[in-house]
């Protein structure tokens, strides 16, 4: 049975339980909150006054409660608290995790939006580009523990940030596939052009100077050593990053097995396999064209470029190819557990990155979603 959920309002709004009152701060009688039933994401709404200051004060005083809910459900959606811009987003995020980070080693282009440098655009990729659901920076040595997404401009059409419980994905995958991938191990290949390169590769999302925010090779190599990347310098100042991974990581607190890797993002066939799911969800001529284009580009790249030189690719650890059918099986398991909730302006979603992934669906019209992490 397909468990894909598409809701206007997450959780069960009809059965809300009263949230404990805010600690006294701005008001002698601060408002309580209400909770939806515990389902990804857990919806938290004000039962009285919507106030960023009050919300952040309560969160700061009850971080243990937030942590407990995140480990249980995977994500919290705060809605209706008057969050209006990146400064408000950072206030809420720091109430939960004071030690925000701003080093970004992911593949999606981002731009810092706040003066502090800790709130970024979620992605600068074009609106037609879907992002498969994933755990943030799963290929690094120490991925973020928490993510904070917020909607400052609601999408004109679609553009949701779907969520998925990768504990459920692990359970739904064929045990034989899980065992085979664990036994063979995984390898990620990423190639980046140098700062002077002008030739554009549709599959290459950044230059290595944009990835590491430096032109100093020694700094790059030190970061690679810390993160477990093998840097390979190539002609024309190009850089390849090779890394080896296991498909599963136990949750650092609960110990539950989590399907935790980027193979379904970086494999050469991942783009058209993901777009096929988008096409099935929302059949349209636009999506049909982009699916066909992605499929043709993947076939062309496979015929014309060696695996080691692909902008992004994933193989087994010994260099042998991961069958496209197995990548598709992973993507289908993810979509089986995908939860799609339309954004409302002012929404803030807090995610336990160790268990729960996020993505992006194609959209039309204006849209601004921002992100912080810790």
**Would you write out the chain's pLDDT as a tens digit for each of its 374 residues?**
344 554 555 543 333 333 333 333 333 333 357 777 668 999 999 986 678 999 999 999 999 999 999 999 999 999 999 999 999 999 999 999 999 999 999 989 999 999 999 999 999 999 999 999 999 999 999 999 999 999 999 999 999 999 999 999 999 999 999 999 999 999 999 999 999 887 767 677 899 999 999 999 999 999 999 999 999 999 999 999 999 999 999 999 999 999 999 999 999 999 999 999 999 999 999 999 999 999 999 999 999 999 999 999 999 999 999 999 999 999 999 999 999 999 999 999 999 999 999 999 999 999 999 999 99
Nearest-angstrom CA–CA distance, 71 and 74: 6
Nearest-angstrom CA–CA distance, 36 and 285: 37
What is residue 1's predicted lDDT score, i.e. its pLDDT?
A: 37
Report the CATH number of the 173-273+298-332 domain.
3.60.130.10
Quick one: which H or E segment has residue 263?
helix 263-266
What is residue 339's predicted lDDT score, i.e. its pLDDT?
A: 97
Query: Are the C-beta atoms of residues 330 and 263 closer than 8 Å to each other?
Result: yes
What is residue 19's predicted lDDT score, i.e. its pLDDT?
A: 37
Q: What is the pTM of this model?
A: 0.90
What is residue 36's predicted lDDT score, i.e. its pLDDT?
A: 78
Nearest-angstrom CA–CA distance, 366 and 18: 35
What is residue 9's predicted lDDT score, i.e. its pLDDT?
A: 55
Nearest-angstrom CA–CA distance, 318 and 13: 50
- Give the chain's length: 374
What is residue 167's predicted lDDT score, i.e. its pLDDT?
A: 98
What is residue 196's predicted lDDT score, i.e. its pLDDT?
A: 83
CATH superfamily of 5-167+335-373: Clavaminate synthase-like (3.60.130.10)
Query: Are the C-beta atoms of residues 317 and 184 closer than 8 Å to each other?
Result: yes
Query: For residue 90, what are its two tokens?
Result: 């950072």
Nearest-angstrom CA–CA distance, 7 and 295: 30
Q: Residue ranges of the domains in the chain?
A: 5-167+335-373, 173-273+298-332
Are 5-167+335-373 and 173-273+298-332 in the same CATH fold?
Answer: yes
Nearest-angstrom CA–CA distance, 152 and 84: 6
What is residue 183's predicted lDDT score, i.e. its pLDDT?
A: 98
| Alpha-carbon 35 to chain mean position | 24
What is residue 50's predicted lDDT score, i.e. its pLDDT?
A: 78
For residue 228, count CB atoms less than 10 angstroms from its CB and return exposed for 0-12, middle for 13-18, buried for 19 or more.
Answer: middle
Nearest-angstrom CA–CA distance, 50 and 369: 21
Q: What's the start-to-end Cα distance of the chain, in Å?
A: 35
What residues form DSSP beta bridges with 373?
101, 147
Q: In terms of Cα–Cα distance, which of 301, 90, 333, 82 is closest to 204?
A: 301
């Amino acid at each position: 049975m397909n468990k894909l959920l598409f809701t206007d309002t997450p959780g069960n709004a009809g059965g809300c339980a009263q949230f404990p009152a805010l600690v006294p701060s701005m008001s002698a009688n601060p408002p309580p909150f209400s909770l939806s039933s515990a389902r990804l994401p857990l919806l938290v709404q004000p039962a009285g006054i919507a106030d960023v200051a009050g919300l952040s004060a309560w969160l700061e005083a009850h971080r243990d409660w937030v942590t407990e809910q995140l480990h249980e459900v995977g994500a919290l959606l705060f809605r209706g608290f008057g969050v209006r811009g990146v400064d408000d987003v950072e206030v809420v995020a720091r109430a939960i995790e004071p030690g925000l980070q701003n080093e970004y080693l992911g593949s999606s282009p981002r731009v810092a939006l706040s003066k502090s440098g800790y709130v970024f655009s979620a992605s600068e990729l074009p609106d037609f580009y879907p992002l498969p659901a994933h755990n943030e920076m799963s290929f690094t040595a120490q991925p973020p523990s928490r993510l904070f997404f917020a909607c400052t401009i609601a999408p004109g059409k679609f553009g949701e940030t779907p969520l998925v419980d990768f504990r459920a994905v692990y359970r739904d995958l064929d045990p034989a596939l899980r065992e085979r991938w664990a036994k063979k191990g995984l390898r990620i290949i990423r190639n980046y052009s140098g700062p002077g390169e002008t030739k554009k590769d549709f599959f290459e999302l950044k230059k290595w100077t944009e990835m590491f925010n430096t032109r100093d090779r020694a700094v790059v190599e030190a970061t690679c050593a810390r993160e477990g990347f093998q840097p390979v310098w190539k002609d024309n100042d190009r850089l390849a990053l090779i890394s080896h991974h296991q498909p599963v990581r136990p949750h650092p607190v609960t110990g539950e097995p989590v399907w935790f890797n980027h193979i379904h993002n970086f494999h050469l066939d991942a783009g058209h396999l993901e777009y096929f799911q988008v096409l099935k969800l929302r059949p349209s001529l636009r999506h049909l064209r982009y699916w066909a284009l992605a499929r043709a580009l993947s076939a062309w790249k496979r015929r014309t470029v060696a695996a080691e030189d692909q902008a992004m690719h994933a193989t087994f650890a010994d260099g042998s190819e991961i069958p496209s059918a197995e990548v598709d099986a992973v993507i289908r398991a993810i979509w089986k557990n995908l939860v799609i909730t339309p954004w409302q302006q002012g929404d803030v979603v807090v995610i336990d990155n160790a268990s729960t992934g996020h993505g992006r669906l194609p959209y039309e019209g204006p849209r601004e979603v921002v992100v912080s992490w810790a």
